[in-house]
Structure 1
Amino acid sequence: MIDYADFTPSWIDAARDRIADMAVTTPLVPSPHLSKLAGNEFLLKLEMTQPMGAFKLRGAANAILALEGDVGGVTCCSTGNHGRGVAYAARARGMRAIICMSSLVPQAKIDGIKALGAEVRIIGKSQDDAMAESLRLVEAEGLVEISPFDDPYVIAGQGTIGLELLDQCPSLKTVLVPLSGGGLAGGIAFAVKARRPDIRVIGISMDRGAAMHASLQAGNPVEVEEVPSLADSLGGGIGLDNRLSFPLCRDFLDDVLLVTEDEIYRAMQTIYYEDRMVCEGACVVGIAALQSGKLPKSDGPIATIITGRNIDMTVHADIMQGRDVTLGNTTIRGQAYAA
């Protein structure tokens, strides 16, 4: 692992070149409905249009394409989309992949990873349990571990989104980034502020089990209890020995906002009914922050990252119809969509 001081913008420039043939440059499109609500142009960065349905392909592809020598295979722990990205990139390179996941991961994400030819192992009830199994595979079987967030190649891959945002909207003033382990938020914030330090970058997570938010408040990585969420992709810890994504988020994020399950529910309806998009709960936390009035005013265009489309369609249908959704021991009361 490189030292934090050695992670420079050149890592992200190199990642952009490395992944060009595997990950696509995704569209940045305006949402008329949300622009009216924000009082400024509100833009959607459509990472759900990546070949495997989520931004995670960028970091996984960069890490796997950078591997040298005879590699017997790769492993990782994942809440869903990172595993899917690793499985996709590993298959493209003809490599074995074992994805370790907790029992909290939705079945739709497990099935999607298996469909890409990877082996899935369900271990324990937290991402820390899954991480322990992934690290065991490194020792026992000689696999290479691809971290979901605390890896310079993964972070650099996710950071390429920031470069695209600056190219696509030079007048950009605010970026809203779903916040989990910090690879996406830290990478984008670092890439954007290296060129435009005036741009405000805000990390957004759910209000239950947000590990990076709790760690930033504590001043060091801490463990949190993982709970089911509509934004399940944002679950999991950041690792107590975190060396890169925590300091990147600490030093380059301007703020962190938390949204409720009810607010995520409504935002999922909004992007479907107003922008005709099927999105995971983690994708819409920026929209949830806007609709709930938690987002500070911006003096120019705002962009949010629509991170993935790999949702259980039964759950999605329930939300669109305004039905109750049960997550573990919690029931989110249904609400019919109203603009």
Structure 2
Amino acid sequence: MEPVVTLPDIEAARTRIEGHVIRTPLVPSPSLSAVTGADVRLKLDLLQPSGAFKLRGATNALLSLSPADRARGVTCCSTGNHGRAVAYAAGRLGIRAVICMSRLVPANKVRAIEALGAEARIVGRSQDEAAVEAGRLVAEEGMVMIPPFDHRDVVAGQGTCGLEIVEDWPEVDTVIVPLSGGGLIAGVAAAVKARRPAARIVGVSMDRGAAMQASLAAGHPVAVEEVASLADSLGGGIGLDNRITFAMCRALVDEVILVDEAAIARAMRHLYRAEQLVAEGGAAVGAAALLERSVTRPGGHIAVIVTGRGVDMDLFTRIASGEDVDPAAVSG
């Protein structure tokens, strides 16, 4: 299958978002290199101004809107990071934004969105329920939907992360990517494999409610129950009418790994103690897969995308200190 989003789309996105999004560093990880015996490097997209990689896709999508569409305002459903990115980009561009989220989204992420000047609208107990409200805003109030992942401009924007990895490290042979709706991994895979066809793309998600993994196993998009997890940013479905990311993941992702809550907590502690990084649960799953030695044929040059830092610091302090934390504590 020819990817729906291709290298020229991603290169165009990079030109478009330059000056709005930073080129994040790819740094050696001595601790994970020691664990694996490979050269492991961390792509620190948690350093984006909005706190997560999502700023790439949101910014590309908003900059691609016509003046008339900008005037209508934008909306989206989000588990937190996409909403924060849309709010940040919309604020810079002077666009009204309404971010729809479920009650499972941690309160710190809701507050961060409101602090950026967007309206945070809390609806239901799942991302799917929040999506219904976003759809109503489009149908009844004429707002423009900015989907969190299943959108060409969003995927192309996220793909700029992969383009940076392969340019900064041409020898990379494995890229490990947190996996949720597939926008990041689809874009990264398209960019990396266009430049390094033999490179392996590994997706990692939590073992509860991993929608893309379940859909790939079934051969078509399926619904899953969304439950509380330390990796709250990876929650939510991929959409039963998914048009882009499911097909791209099926064509371009080489392996999908699931990690449990204890492994996620250990990885958060490891990144903090060994690498001095404050990473949210969804951003730590790649490190968790390496620490659990779950990656098949990991290769000798491994890039791990650390996607975001949007974690409640009281919760993070408990995890970092070694406390066993009930994942339900992440829900607002």
What is the aligned partner in structure 1 of residue 6 from structure 2? 8
For the residue of structure 1 that corresponds to 2:284, the secondary structure is helix
Gapped regions of structure 1 (runs ≥ 5): 331-339
- 1:60-79 correspondence to structure 2 within 5 Å: 60-70=58-68, 71=70, 72-79=72-79
List, as ranges, runs of 4+ consecutive aligned residues in structure 1 with deviation greater than 3 Å.
Answer: 4-7
- 1:25-36 correspondence to structure 2 within 5 Å: 25-36=23-34
After TM superposition, give the deviation of residue 67 of structure 1 in Å: 0.3
After TM superposition, give the deviation of residue 286 of structure 1 in Å: 0.9
With over 3 angstroms needed to count, the CA separation of the structure-2 counterparts of 1:319 and 1:240, relative to structure 1, is: same
Kindly provide the CA deviation profile for residues 172-200 of structure 1, in whole angstroms up to 9, marking residues without a partner as x: 01000000000001110111111211000
Kindly provide the CA deviation profile for residues 250-296 of structure 1, in whole angstroms up to 9, marking residues without a partner as x: 00000100000000000000000000110100111111111112112
What is the aligned partner in structure 1 of residue 321 from structure 2? 321
Matching residue's letter, 2:313: M
After TM superposition, give the deviation of residue 323 of structure 1 in Å: 1.5
Matching residue's letter, 1:16: R
What is the total number of aligned residue pairs between the two structures?
328
Asked if residue 53 in structure 1 is aligned to residue 54 in structure 2, the reply is no
- 1:153-232 correspondence to structure 2 within 5 Å: 153-232=153-232
- 1:257-336 correspondence to structure 2 within 5 Å: 257-328=257-328
For the residue of structure 2 that corresponds to 1:227, the secondary structure is coil
Please say if residues 75 and 144 of structure 1, whose CA atoms lie closer than 8 Å, have aligned partners that are also in contact: yes
Quick one: higher RCO (CA 8 Å, sep 6+), 1 or 2? 2
After TM superposition, give the deviation of residue 6 of structure 1 in Å: 5.2
For the residue of structure 2 that corresponds to 1:43, the secondary structure is strand
188-197 vs 112-121, greater mean Cα deviation:
188-197
Please say if residues 180 and 210 of structure 1, whose CA atoms lie closer than 8 Å, have aligned partners that are also in contact: yes
d(CA) in 2 for partners of 1:219, 1:121:
34
Matching residue's letter, 2:5: F
With over 3 angstroms needed to count, the CA separation of the structure-2 counterparts of 1:297 and 1:80, relative to structure 1, is: same
Please say if residues 171 and 300 of structure 1, whose CA atoms lie closer than 8 Å, have aligned partners that are also in contact: no
Please say if residues 26 and 46 of structure 1, whose CA atoms lie closer than 8 Å, have aligned partners that are also in contact: yes
After TM superposition, give the deviation of residue 322 of structure 1 in Å: 1.3
Please say if residues 5 and 187 of structure 2, whose CA atoms lie closer than 8 Å, have aligned partners that are also in contact: no
- 1:36-115 correspondence to structure 2 within 5 Å: 36-70=34-68, 71=70, 72-115=72-115
For the residue of structure 2 that corresponds to 1:48, the secondary structure is helix
Please say if residues 76 and 100 of structure 1, whose CA atoms lie closer than 8 Å, have aligned partners that are also in contact: yes
After TM superposition, give the deviation of residue 7 of structure 1 in Å: 3.2
Matching residue's letter, 1:36: A
Please say if residues 221 and 242 of structure 1, whose CA atoms lie closer than 8 Å, have aligned partners that are also in contact: yes
d(CA) in 1 for partners of 2:54, 2:3:
24
Kindly provide the CA deviation profile for residues 144-203 of structure 1, in whole angstroms up to 9, marking residues without a partner as x: 000000000000000001110011111001000000000001110111111211000000
- TM-score normalised by length of structure 2: 0.96
What is the aligned partner in structure 2 of residue 137 from structure 1? 137
After TM superposition, give the deviation of residue 59 of structure 1 in Å: 0.2
With over 3 angstroms needed to count, the CA separation of the structure-2 counterparts of 1:249 and 1:6, relative to structure 1, is: closer
* Identity between Structure 1 and Structure 2 (%): 57
For the residue of structure 2 that corresponds to 1:325, the secondary structure is coil
d(CA) in 1 for partners of 2:166, 2:260:
30
d(CA) in 2 for partners of 1:283, 1:220:
26
After TM superposition, give the deviation of residue 329 of structure 1 in Å: 8.9
